[in-house]
Structure 1
């Protein structure tokens, strides 16, 4: 219990350090929020008029749960950049030389990123309300939907931390972006997988992002694409299983990669 208490205290210290960086450089958060709002405006108003929602309904209500999840996915790049920068500047090595818990740096980074994600999600919710989106199933189910979105972010940030500690290359960020964008678009965020070829629709249906988006639409009471596939019929379950699997794999790998980190 003493070791756990000190591990949590060390992790909170690292979290406060990252929060102070945001206060000193708030433009990073501001630009991230503006980018998310720009995507909502672009797809909601420029392209939305040409897209039909399966079963009818307003496209912006169909779009917003997908935009919430997509923003959680894009946070993967921010996590990777922050961890890589600390590693390349020698900050991580200084932490490793100090008497602190081995998990403190990665746990602190995760806590800071989750706080950032809550702020980003809240801003995007306000944007959604402004363009006509809302939830229709009560505050309890809405809270569950937001919880699943943050659970996805929590799972993905461990993937970002692990990749940053293993690759430790700013140049690899471009390769990561090349992977993130197809993962985001090959889903049910913007259109129904039913409009895709069968083989592509199957990939989109089993995409972890699609599971969270489908579950969020169901919990918010927003128009959804439905579908006859097993993941489509069990979206809430898959929105729990996918993040749990990612955390089970990449959390211990992240801590292990940090402990073995060397210059």
Structure 2
């Protein structure tokens, strides 16, 4: 075989030709490869994506038509007003519930020995987790697009313009990405995908329901309202309502409710910093 034919061989690709990269560039490159692997896996198992779409749509329809008209929002029980109030909470809940998928997926990789195979490759150790969380973020974004269409059909509208609406969705996606790092840590800490799914959801239900997502916090007992007002989930929902121009914006004097955009950014970045560090450290010990 001549040198020229070897150069043209399909084996002579970037995947087989080592390149000199800095640590950050190498980590980003490896993370994107892992993300692509997980996205291809979702494509080959479309039922995962389909069921991921059905659940939030069911939440919208059930909450909008079962509770609409029974909850007072800004002094009114108008069902249309409740639907506009509701959607920021549903959007945020949807992206945060991707945490359970992250937990189960990473736990499954651990039990199947995939982590051991990754360990044998010359790749960044944190890239396995970063790639997984990026793939989950892409899936959440696709789900969000479908959910926005459903929300528009049931009467939800934005009133502050497209740029602010996009900023609201950006904050929600950032919180969802932050929560996937909690899911990654859970997936590395349990022994089976089934346990990871349960552990990934059990703490999300009180977090999302003890918040301003579905009912105004003004009707809660004082101690519970304080918890709800300082809940990271509530800050992002409040920011969404402010940026969408939707009704039901809390009048609480708690700092996160008065400055919800900054509070949402702060909580999301803090969660990423803390749980990414813990998850990568856990992964290195598991793969070490």
Q: Deviations over 1:187-223 (max 9, x none)?
A: 1111001111111111111111100000000000001
Sort the Cα spacing of 1:61 and 1:34 in 2 relative to 1 into closer, same or farther, 3 A.
Answer: same
Sort the Cα spacing of 1:208 and 1:51 in 2 relative to 1 into closer, same or farther, 3 A.
Answer: same
Matched, 1:9 2:34: no
State the Cα distance separating 1:257 from its structure 2 match. Answer: 1.2
Whichever of the two has the greater Rg, that structure is 2
Name which of 65, 73, 76 aligns with 1:53.
Answer: 73
Aligned to 1:179: 203
Distance 2:31 2:166 in 1: 27
Q: Indicate the RMSD between aligned Cα atoms, in angstroms.
A: 1.5
Aligned to 1:207: 231
State the Cα distance separating 1:55 from its structure 2 match. Answer: 4.3
Matched, 1:82 2:105: yes
5+ residue gaps, structure 2: 1-20
Checking the alignment, whether the CA contact within 8 Å between 1:18 and 1:109 is kept in structure 2 is yes
State the Cα distance separating 1:110 from its structure 2 match. Answer: 1.3
State the Cα distance separating 1:228 from its structure 2 match. Answer: 2.4
5+ residue gaps, structure 1: none
Please give the residue correspondences for 1:108-119 in structure 2 after superposition, counting only pairs within 5 Å. Answer: 108-119=131-142
Q: Deviations over 1:84-142 (max 9, x none)?
A: 11111111111112111111101110110111111011111111111110111011111
Larger RCO (alpha carbons 8 Å, 6+ apart): 1
TM-score, normalisation: structure 2 = 0.87
Distance 1:237 1:6 in 2: 32
Which runs of 4 or more aligned residues in structure 1 lie more than 3 Å from their structure 2 counterparts after TM superposition?
none
Distance 1:156 1:228 in 2: 25
Checking the alignment, whether the CA contact within 8 Å between 1:79 and 1:161 is kept in structure 2 is yes
State the Cα distance separating 1:251 from its structure 2 match. Answer: 1.1
Name which of 61, 65, 69 aligns with 1:41.
Answer: 61
Matched, 1:92 2:112: no
Checking the alignment, whether the CA contact within 8 Å between 1:218 and 1:224 is kept in structure 2 is no
Match of 1:260, SS state, is helix
